[in-house]
Each structure stands twice: as C-alpha cells, then as structure tokens.
Copies of this chain bind each other. A is one copy, B any other.
Amino acid sequence: MKLTPIGITHSPHQQATGTPIQASLATGVEGTVEVFPEYAPGLRDLDGFERIWLVYWFDRTAPAQLVVTPYLDATPRGLFATRAPARPNPIGLSPVRLLGITGHCLRVADLDVLDNTPLLDIKPYVPRFDRFDVTRCGWLDAASARDGLADDRFEAGSKRKEK
C-alpha cells in the first residue's frame, strides 16, 4: 500500500488556524489544484462535473489520537466519529466545486485544504452515489457549526493540550 502524490493544492490557507473545517463551510474560497503533467490524460471529461472529491494527505497533522475533542464540540469523542485530521491514515476528503480546468490545473472553490497539500486522488461527486438523507447524525445533531474555522489543536507540534 504505497501512495504517490498525483498533484498539489495551492490554497490561501497557510496554517490550520483560521482554515474552514469543511468544504461546505469554505464557500467562496478559491484555489488551484495542480495535477502533475504525467496524470493529465486522466482529467479528460472531468470538466463536465460541477463538484469533485479531492482525496489528499494531511501532511501537517499531529500523530493519530484515538479520542479527540472535535472543533464543533467540547466533549471528547472517538476519532472515527469525527472528521479530525489526526488519524491513523491521515487521508482527507473535500467535495470542492470545480470552476474550470486549464491544462493540468483545476480552479476550484469551497476549498478547505491547506496550501501545498499532497493530492492523492480526484473523483467526480455524483449525487446518486454520494448524496444521502440521514436522520441520525450522532453528536453532530446537537452541534452548531459556530464559525466553522480550525485552530491549531491537531497541528504537528501543537502546544495545545487535549482536554
């Protein structure tokens, strides 16, 4: 199970603090996804899709923590019941809006990914595959999105103590 970056994300977010914690909370934030030229043939037909999944590597996150206090709650939760980045396999998913493709570069919006993040994959967002009505959403049912911005709690080397 060997990963190879297929590209890199260029974003206005330089550090976790202040970065929107989800694409759906990053409305209007634009950036560029640079796919390395050798993978450009795989981008054919992608421009017809309005939204795409970016799959990437949280390269600046702290080591995995199996219990975390998520951004949207004050109670420690099991890691797999959260979207926190400090995971055994720190793989991120962001459903961003595709604005256009020029050569091997994608212009995207709703971008919640840090600048220079290694890209692992792109998949089309397909409502009939990805869009589900859900009635129970665990601890998140009671959580408000507040400002929806990250702080440094999951950053590598963070001094913040896990509460």
Contact = CB atoms under 8 A, between A and B. Distances in A.
**Chain A: interface size category:** 35 or more
Interface string A113-150: 00000101111111111111111111111000100000
A88 B45 contact: no
A42 B132 contact: no
A42 B126 CA distance: 29
A143 to B, nearest CB: 10
Interface stretch (A10-18, A74-82, A154-162): A74-82
Task: Report how many copies the assembly holds.
Answer: 2
Nearest to A88: B6
A153 interface: no
B42 A78 contact: yes
Interface in A52-72: 52-53, 55, 57, 59, 66-67
B81 A44 contact: yes
A93 B130 CA distance: 10
B130 A95 contact: yes
Contacts of A138: 45-49, 124
Closest 4 CB pairs of A and B: A48-B138, A44-B78, A45-B81, A42-B79
Interface of A: 1-6, 22-24, 35, 39, 41-53, 55, 57, 59, 66-67, 77-83, 87-89, 91, 93, 95, 118, 120-141, 145
26 contacts: A1-B59, A6-B89, A22-B128, A23-B129, A24-B128, A43-B78, A43-B80, A44-B78, A45-B138, A46-B81, A46-B138, A50-B134, A53-B93, A55-B89, A55-B93, A80-B122, A88-B120, A88-B121, A91-B91, A91-B120, A124-B138, A126-B140, A127-B133, A131-B131, A131-B132, A131-B133
